[in-house]
Structure 1
Amino acid sequence: MLRFLLAALFGILIAGPANADRIKDLGAFQGIRTNQLTGYGVVVGLPGTGDDNLEYTVQSMKGVASRFGLQLPPGANPGLKNSAVVMITAELPAFAKPGQKLDITVSALGKAKSLRGGTLILSPMYGADGAIYAMAQGNLAVGGLGADGADGSKVVVNVPSSGRIPEGATVERAVDTGFASTPALTFNLARADFTTAQNVASAINARYGAGIARAVDGVSISVTAPPGSDVRAQLMSGIENLDVTSAEAPAKVIVNARTGTVVINSAVRVSPAAVTHGKLTVRIEENQRVSQPAPFSKGETALEQKSAVQVEEEKRPMFLFQPGPKLADVVNAVNAIGASPADLVAILEALKQAGALKAELIVL
């Protein structure tokens, strides 16, 4: 029994390739994407924290009233402290069907101080093509709050002029992804890499037959698939769960000059180079000394300046990078001289200029 368990465990450990990733973690099929929706609406029921008498707010209120057959007089200027005009945003997921619910974000467009306690009036949400894809309405959940004092003092916590309505929009129109009728399926990698694209195509061909997939470029892999949504859904599910070995990322050194953060990936190599790094510190101290003449003399008490100038130079030995060191060698060598993040940036820039750093140096 023990021998059987050890054999089973060994089989599990070697079942997949080393450093293998699922294809679904490397990218997504073309057309299977979210779509952004936007809308314009009015929030009512605010406790005096709405817009001032802005012209577009007045027009919006008149538009809302006209839906119910109420025509306001031309010169009427309704009080707007209890209402606010807002912009509504949401993301329409792929394959969303009419009747499904969407979470929406509501943000004040004018000078409203807070949307807490407000209700969004029924508003259409449009796609990039100008068509209505959802209708939004509901009570806002606002995480921020604000309070004003009579003397002009103000306290604001988070952002009270923006809120969310969970399941506040209803889908009215579905977006055709075209995945059931296109001549071929296209899988796009999140990061362009010709080696990874070839590995993905090879994994698909090994599972479903030679010639099924081909790498079009460094991002796209074209997959020949029979028509029909059910057949393609089954094929896409199988492809997404295939294991594939990703190519090693290009050598990069990322430096954030504002925070001093330095990130070096494992592909970074350094050619043979000798490096020394030291600091020169000049310290000047100014002191005043009182000069007091001896008793019964004709001298006067006076102040004398006393300056002390010191120059200190840290002695740090030169260290040598051996041919082709890895990331751990670079880190150990730099830590051995006690370099700070700013010093490390200077050393890396010098190595890059000398041609010894075999990596792309990116400064944020």
Structure 2
Amino acid sequence: MLAGLAVALCALSGPARADKIRDLVQVGGVRSNQLIGYGLVVGLDGSGDQTTQAPFTTQSLENMLQQFGITVPASARPQLKNAAAVMVTADLPPFAKPGQTIDVTVASIGNAKSIRGGQLLMAPLRGADGNVYAVAQGSVVVGGISAQGKSGSSVQVNISASGRIPNGASVERIVPSSFAGGGDLMLNLNTADFTTATRIATAINRAYGAGTAQPLDGGSVSVRGPQDPAQKVAWLGAIESLDVQPGDAPARIVVNSRTGTVVIGSDVRVSAAAVAHGAIQVTISEQSQVSQPAPFGQGQTAVVPSSSVQVSEEGAHMFKFGPGVSLDTIVRAVNQVGATPSDLISILQALKQAGALHADLVVI
């Protein structure tokens, strides 16, 4: 294997391995909800917002002080170097009850240099419907660090303008869920596949009788369940523990053009094809020459630029694929000619356009 070729290989064919149904599906109506809020982080060591460029920080602080009976004169322009305006986000897990705590993420929206060591003041977190479902407050934990000297030199590791508060929000409201209601249970596949949906329904019917489960399409399976919520919980727990062998993944090649990463599935095949791989190099050199006038001439000495342009094609290679070539053969052939990740991407795109690549080519 030659260095420099960033090719990640998926798991090759091996013994079939069954998965639990809980790892393949999500129960309909059981989902998390995104929360968002606005707040203030105080107690910073001079690394907060510059109020001249972030006036909303001053406005927020004045509004908060008014709630405590403190009125800031209109002529006052406080310089809040130790405060920063932030956005607070969190994921409210399903079945969360009032009094439980969840993690929150705090991110600066002004020009604060760092919120390390800051304290988030009480901030309500709202859902998409505008209702408050949690209240966040606590000390911000920042994984990044930054430092700057008087000369202007600075060092930064990771991002110090955002952080997290573990268990920083208290749930205040229950999200209504359709799980406790009547009707059949809906199992939504994480990856839609007709074979997997059929096998899930077959495994459930084999364990609990024909007609218990029915695949609706490639992405969902309907399961008949009891009406009692307590029985429904036990029933669903037993179903999620069943073993199912998922269907084979489609032949697919995923290319990340930004990082040069190429992921090739194990079922990728190519038809007979010949590929020419080469590199064209263009070299341009600039030199200055002095032009002297003839003796007793009236001309003047001048500097004349001289350009040299050369075009060369080096390292040209051609390799041939036979029909039905496997993943291992493709990678070995590309490595032998010393192709870079960008070259491999071009080769795969050309094979796809030629109709010789029997796989989906996905560029991210």
TM-score, structure 1 normalization = 0.80
Sequence identity percentage: 52
Find the aligned partners of 2:186 and 2:192 in 1 and give their Cα distance.
14
Q: 1:123-149 CA deviation, whole Å, 9 max, x = no partner?
A: 211111111111111122223333343
Q: 1:232-261 CA deviation, whole Å, 9 max, x = no partner?
A: 111111121211121111111223334433
Shift of 1:275: 4.4
* Counterpart in the other structure of 2:20: 22
Find the aligned partners of 2:145 and 2:159 in 1 and give their Cα distance.
7
Per the alignment, do residues 208 and 152 of structure 1 end up closer, same or farther by CA in structure 2, a change over 3 Å counting?
A: same
Q: 1:160-186 CA deviation, whole Å, 9 max, x = no partner?
A: 222222211111111122211041211
Matched, 1:326 2:313: no
Matches within 5 A, 1:67-216: 67-216=67-216
Find the aligned partners of 2:56 and 2:250 in 1 and give their Cα distance.
53
Q: Is the 8 A contact 2:123 2:136 kept in 1?
A: yes
Shift of 1:282: 8.7
The one-letter amino acid of 1:108's match is S
Shift of 1:58: 2.1
Bigger radius of gyration among the two: 1
Q: 1:5-53 CA deviation, whole Å, 9 max, x = no partner?
A: xxxxxxxxxxxx9321211111211222211111111122222222222
Figure out how many residues of one structure are paired with residues of the other and give that number: 330
Shift of 1:94: 0.9
Q: Is the 8 A contact 2:253 2:361 kept in 1?
A: yes
Per the alignment, do residues 310 and 229 of structure 1 end up closer, same or farther by CA in structure 2, a change over 3 Å counting?
A: closer
Q: 1:78-130 CA deviation, whole Å, 9 max, x = no partner?
A: 33122222111111111111111111111222122222222121121111111
* Counterpart in the other structure of 1:224: 224
Q: Is the 8 A contact 1:248 1:267 kept in 2?
A: no
Worse-matched range after superposition: 146-155 or 39-48: 146-155
Q: Is the 8 A contact 1:42 1:85 kept in 2?
A: yes
- SS of alignment partner, residue 266 of structure 2: coil
Q: 1:163-217 CA deviation, whole Å, 9 max, x = no partner?
A: 2222111111111222110412111111111111111111111112111111111
Correspondent of 1:42 among 40, 47, 50: 40
The one-letter amino acid of 1:129's match is D
Per the alignment, do residues 278 and 183 of structure 1 end up closer, same or farther by CA in structure 2, a change over 3 Å counting?
A: same
* Counterpart in the other structure of 1:249: 249
The one-letter amino acid of 2:70's match is L
- SS of alignment partner, residue 216 of structure 1: strand
Per the alignment, do residues 155 and 315 of structure 1 end up closer, same or farther by CA in structure 2, a change over 3 Å counting?
A: closer
Higher relative contact order, structure no. (Cα contacts within 8 Å, ≥ 6 residues apart): 2
Find the aligned partners of 1:114 and 1:282 in 2 and give their Cα distance.
47
Q: Is the 8 A contact 2:319 2:333 kept in 1?
A: no
TM-score, structure 2 normalization = 0.80
- SS of alignment partner, residue 18 of structure 1: coil
